[in-house]
Structure 1
């Protein structure tokens, strides 16, 4: 469950959003990340004014590393 201390209700408060070059297709399951902030805001690309989760830089880096290493089941 998301902790409200790490959730921003309107992600449009952040700038610098980008979608991974690996995102594509028509599935609509893409995330966007905003650069240039103390934390790492992440949002659903289809909900540009929806909520964002904000991760610490270390937390986001660990998550991305785990994904790349295939350490997350699915």
Structure 2
């Protein structure tokens, strides 16, 4: 699969409306998710990135910018 095909696959997945799940199902999935070890520097970078205000665009604008 080419990089472009993979990108299209990711975009399609992001644009697909999520299916609602119950709280019990969410809890089950959370328990089954593997834990990841993250060092303090990585944690700080993630938190800093989440705190940054970024541009918000619509799905239509995203598709337009990607030429889709």
In which range does the TM-score fall when normalised by the shorter chain?
A: under 0.3
Higher Cα radius of gyration: 2
Which of the pair is proportionally richer in strand?
1
Bigger RCO of structures 1 and 2 (CA < 8 A, at least 6 apart)? 2
Q: Which has the higher helix share?
A: 2
TM-score of the pair, normalised by structure 1: 0.25
